[in-house]
Structure 1
């Protein structure tokens, strides 16, 4: 199940977002609106949910949340965008990675779902 997370996630939301992949959550993060969509099997599915909610594609980046280690991964097909000088699946800008890490940790970090 994909949820849009606008404020700290609830334990039930974490459980539902983890249903698809079990040990991690695929995310689309809107760095402009400071929200994320998580869950499902593809980053693109999360991206579509944010686009339907009014986000602009240029502000959405793909990431993964690993709740057991409380870490963020920055690799996704939706991150390949030459127009933003990102020619890789990995988010290449260290400042953007740090911004995404801080946002994801503030919304999903230390949420007890078990």
Structure 2
């Protein structure tokens, strides 16, 4: 008589190997996910800064880039300086730690020159 199927020991062994591989793979997947999230946030912030500078030069008016709630890790907002009209707002799906040496705001002059909090660079 031919045997069909698998035995209980074979099934439990396969299940144990699958659980072990899943447990070993989860930390690597979490690190990969975090790395991808950080890379996407950096790419989006760089694009927002390029866009703000271009808009300032094209419209010949100052443009502000501000951190949401004073923390760049929450997201940022691009707005016109004279009437506070929001051009773009980016909220991050998960908060990140983003360190800034320029405070919570960056301004681009009408000529596209980046200016700090005291209108200097």
TM-score, normalised relative to structure 1: 0.30
Q: Which has the higher helix share?
A: 2
**Greater Rg by CA:** 2
Question: Which structure carries more relative contact order (alpha carbon 8 Å, separation 6+)?
Answer: 1
